[in-house]
Structure 1
Amino acid sequence: MSNTKIAVLVGSLRRESFNGKLANALIKLGPSDFAFNTVQIGDLPLYNQDDDENQAPEVRRLKAEIADADGLLFVTPEYNRSIPGVLKNAIDHASRPYGQNAWAGKPAGVIGISIGAIGTALAQQHLRNVLAYLDVPTLGQPEAFLQMKDELFEPDGSIGQASRQFLQGWMDRYVAWVKKHAA
């Protein structure tokens, strides 16, 4: 049985990140023939075009993990109405140097959670704009703008009963999207 490999990118570095918890819970909702790899992005140097011809080992590792993936799952918080700098930094690194875009053609899903009432709606929209430019086919529907509530996660880290059906539906659509668009 072959596994579909998914690179998971979490836009938060915080130890108790809601988005990290969401990523882990979503992985549990994935099918058994999908292998999820949470990609480390917190160790990347700041992107500098001067380094394009001599990329750091961490950048080469990131690009290799993206290249090896069949699909992408972005789980992002919203910082100041946009995507976090650490996520944008990773996106910039893996898209460079010009003509060596590791993201191109990889089907993606975008989701996120925040304490705010609109969830991560604006961060997701900004991320979708960036991904469109990078030739990443991104799942459009259903959108999922989650607000952090006490009942969202069970004590074991899985999705709580009130949100399980919705998020399982989201994951099922994401899986279908990846299967349809993976090369």
Structure 2
Amino acid sequence: MKRFSIAIVCGSLRRDSINRKIARSMCALGGERLDCRIVEIGDLALFNQDLEGEPPEAWVRFRREIVAADGVLFVSPEYNRSIPGALKNALDVGSRPYGQSVWSKKPAAIVTASPGAIGGFGANHQIRQACVFLDMPVMQHPEAYLGQVKDEAFGADGLLVDGPLKELVGKLAAAFADWVELIDKNQSELA
């Protein structure tokens, strides 16, 4: 069984955010097939085309980490019915310079989580829309808008405790592993 390297891009910069905890839980539940690592985005300078000639070290590091991954898991809250600014900036930084996007052909999944009822629905679809333009095959089903997520859903280790949410996130992890494997197999056959 092949193990896939997954870059987690988390829209929340807060160390103990529920989205980071969901990301870590999803990867722990897909542990045999997914080797996950959070790729930090908080240190990325705002995208400015003037910097492309001599890109900031954080841009170089970020692009290198995404290129090295077999797939990308976006896990994000929703801010003001939209994508958090740090995540949008990361999408832009990775898409440049023109013709050298690190996102192209990377299989992806999108999970949004919120203490609110709609689970980041708006941000989920805006990330999905950006991924279409960036030529990323995005897992279509199951969709993941996790609403009503509270801190009590996590144990002291920061991972989900047993219950319906953990079961759902486990199913998402399995589906994502299957998706990355399918895209990897298809791309290998086309090469």
TM range (shorter): over 0.9
CA drift at 1:102: 0.4
Distance 1:42 1:150, change over 3 A: closer
1:12-23 equivalences in 2 (<5 Å):
12-23=12-23
- The alignment's TM-score, normalised by the length of structure 1, stands at 0.94
CA distance in 2, matches of 1:74, 1:9: 5
The C-alpha deviation readout for 1:52-84, integer Å capped at 9, x for no partner, is 221111101111111110000000000010110
> Aligned-pair RMSD on alpha carbons?
1.4
2:70, 2:32 → 1: CA distance? Answer: 15
Q: Which residue of 1 aligns with 2:156?
A: 155
C-alpha contact (below 8 Å) 2:5/2:36 kept by paired residues: yes
**What pairs up with 1:9-158 in 2 under 5 angstroms?**
9-147=9-147, 148-158=149-159
Alpha-carbon separation, structure 1, partners of 2:50 and 2:151: 46
- Quote the Cα distance in structure 1 between the aligned partners of 2:65 and 2:151: 34
The answer to whether the 8 A contact 2:74-2:109 is kept is yes
SS of the aligned residue for 2:135 comes to: coil
Q: Give the Å deviation of 1:130.
A: 0.3
The AA in structure 2 aligned to 1:66 is I
Aligned-residue identity in percent: 43
Deviations 1:19-49 (A, max 9, x none): 1111111111113242111101100101001
* In structure 1, distance between residues paired with 2:43 and 2:63: 13
**Residue type matched to 1:180 in 2?**
L
**Deviation readout 1:131-168 (Å, 9 max, x if unpaired):** 00000000111111112135422333222322222211
Given residue 97 of structure 2, which amino acid in structure 1 is its aligned partner? P
* Counterpart contact for 1:73–1:109, Cα < 8 Å: yes
Query: 1:8–1:39: 8 Å Cα contact kept in structure 2?
Result: yes
Match of 2:167 in 1: 165
**Partner residue of 2:182?**
180
For the residue of structure 1 that corresponds to 2:141, the secondary structure is: coil
**1:136/1:47 Cα in 2 relative to 1: closer, same or farther (>3 Å)?**
same
Q: Give, in angstroms, the shift of residue 4 of structure 1.
A: 1.3
Unaligned stretches of 5+ in structure 1? none
Aligned length: 183
| SS of aligned partner of 1:109 | strand
Structure 2 residue ranges without an equivalent (≥5)? none
The 1:81–1:116 alpha-carbon spacing in structure 2 relative to 1, beyond 3 Å, is same
Q: In the aligned structure 1, how far is the partner of 2:143 from the partner of 2:2?
A: 29
> In the alignment, is the contact (CA less than 8 A) between 2:21 and 2:160 conserved in 1?
no
TM-score normalised according to structure 2 size = 0.91
